[in-house]
Amino acid sequence: QVQVVESGGGLVQAGGSLRLSCTASGLTFDDYVMGWFRQAPGKEREGVSCISGSDVSTCYGDFVKGRFTISRDNAKNTLYLQMNSLKPEDTAMYYCAAGPAWAYGLVSRKYNYWGQGTQVTVSS
């Protein structure tokens, strides 16, 4: 079966950086759009970034504003999110998701497979 596992979260001071990773198994990785979503306590889940299967196209939430970079290594079935200039408002559980090609974008309901999440906490 399909498994999606995130890693790399942690506690960081404002202005710092973190690199999240996500490995997916049980699927043909490069056939899938991959996305990062996040959810803070008491808030709805929001889209952070996405990347097409071919690694040609990427998308970002407006709040990212050049601070985050999404990438993927199809040979390793791994997705990354490099997060720089972190702010306390970036504190959330970050989820990795896989979806069919037509799911490209930041609409969470279009994604089929989800990980359990990795916590990112940014202190002020």
Class of residue 40 by CB neighbours under 10 A (exposed 0-12, middle 13-18, buried 19+): middle
Encode pLDDT of 9-35 as tens digits.
Answer: 999 999 999 999 999 999 999 999 999
> What percent of the chain lies above the pLDDT cut of 90?
97
The tokens describing 96, both together, are 């990795």
C-alpha closest to that of 53 among 19, 77, 25, 17: 77
pLDDT, residue 56, reads 81
- Residue 90 sits at φ, ψ, to 5 deg, of -85, -5
Query: Contact at 8 Å (CB) between 85 and 22?
Result: no
Residues 49-66 have a mean pLDDT of: 92
Rounded to the nearest integer, the mean pLDDT of the chain is 96
